[in-house]
Amino acid sequence: MTRIELPASAESIAALKTGDVVKISGVMITARDAGHKFLVEHFIERSPQPDEAELFRKLSSLLRGGVIYHCGPVVAKDNGSWRFVSAGPTTSIREEPYEHKIIEAFGVRGIVGKGGMGEKTLEACKRFKAVYLHAVGGAASLIASSVVEVLDVHKLEFGVPEAFWVIRVKDFDAVVTMDSHGESLHKKVEETSTRHLDAIIKEIIQGK
């Protein structure tokens, strides 16, 4: 088990390999479909507009050496303060068109979600020293217990699940499934499954 403190250095990320179990502590940010689309269209494909300059500064600071969590939380507000009730990971492949651009432009060191991502993200992890981390699906309430503080929220007009939630986590558990050396457990599982399926189909055809 490896402890990762955010913001993370390129060296600490490069030391991670697929299969490593990590505990993450520090400040991370959630983002889903609307957030990824916004980052690319407003801050990468064009220069930030004057009314977006402050948000760009804040998000850039959070993302540099930071972690994006693919999460649509359930939240509550007590005495004016937000808290996470549920914080399960969402399917990451939906962000494949955007993630490689965000990793490069903002210096993101980690992506947390479920299900893995594709070749563009894997290549960006290799080129820019980042990792993809798999969180446990179906453990949303347990994961929420690692969120010790909600520091801020941006773009709440996107809706609660799609907003950028800035959270402080302590001992957030995850497994490295895509590393900065070009290795992907998701790709290996897919290749192995395909070989087994081909073998089964061949046996069925030969048995007829």
- HEC string of 42-92? HHHCCCCCHHHHHHHHHHHHHHCCCEEECECCEEEEECCEEEEEECCECEH
Q: Which is it for strands 2-5 and 21-30: parallel, antiparallel or unpaired?
A: parallel
Tell me what pLDDT residue 207 has: 65
- Indicate the average pLDDT of the chain: 92
Task: Please compute the mean of the pLDDT values over residues 174-178 and round it to a whole number.
Answer: 97
154 is catalytic: no
Residue 115 has pLDDT above 80, yes or no: yes
Give Cβ neighbours of residue 105 (< 8 Å, ≥ 6 apart). Answer: 43, 44
Nearest to 84 by CA among 134, 145, 135: 145
Residue 22 has pLDDT above 80, yes or no: yes
Tell me what pLDDT residue 29 has: 98
| Interval 59-107: pLDDT, tens | 999 999 999 999 999 999 988 899 999 999 999 999 999 999 999 999 9
pLDDT band at 188 (very low <50, low <70, confident <90, very high): low
Nearest to 161 by CA among 41, 70, 96: 70
Tell me what pLDDT residue 136 has: 82
Tell me what pLDDT residue 99 has: 98
Q: For residues 85 and 74, what is the distance between their CA atoms, to the nearest angstrom?
A: 5
| Interval 26-71: pLDDT, tens | 999 999 999 999 999 999 999 999 999 999 999 999 999 999 999 9
Domains, the chain, in order of start with CATH, read 2-183 (3.20.130.10)
Which among 36, 100, 134, 154 is annotated as catalytic?
36
Tell me what pLDDT residue 55 has: 97
Q: Say how many Å lie between the first and final Cα of the chain, rounded.
A: 50
Residues 71, 87: contact at Cβ < 8 Å? yes
pLDDT band at 208 (very low <50, low <70, confident <90, very high): low
Residues 106, 176: contact at Cβ < 8 Å? no
Tell me what pLDDT residue 139 has: 77
